[in-house]
Amino acid sequence: MTTFNIDGADKRDGKRELYSRMIAFYRDQLQKFYQLGIGNKTEFRVTVTDTLINVTKKRLNHFIGMRRRLIRRLD
């Protein structure tokens, strides 16, 4: 199990890493949804819809914003 120092850079680095991983996950999901196309199913039998794509974009943008705000605080 990874532990982070509550103070200073370790905590910020941990958050930045978490946000980066979430961004990569949502980008991969979007790429998969676009490749499958609207109306087709994922490996988990979820139907790709406009709503699914829009919600995924919203979550992606949320984590991009969180990472940007974190980086701005470091400057």
More confident residue, 49 or 11: 49
The DSSP output letter for 47 is: B
Give the C-alpha separation, 28 to 31, whole Å: 5
Mean pLDDT of 32-46: 98
Backbone angles phi, psi at 50, to 5 degrees: -60, -40
Q: How far apart are the first and last CA of the chain?
A: 30
Other C-beta atoms lying within 10 Å of the C-beta of residue 20:
13
Q: Is 17 a residue whose pLDDT tops 60?
A: yes
pLDDT of residue 71: 83
Say what the pTM is: 0.80
Break the chain into its structural domains and give their ranges: 9-74
Q: Is 46 a residue whose pLDDT tops 60?
A: yes
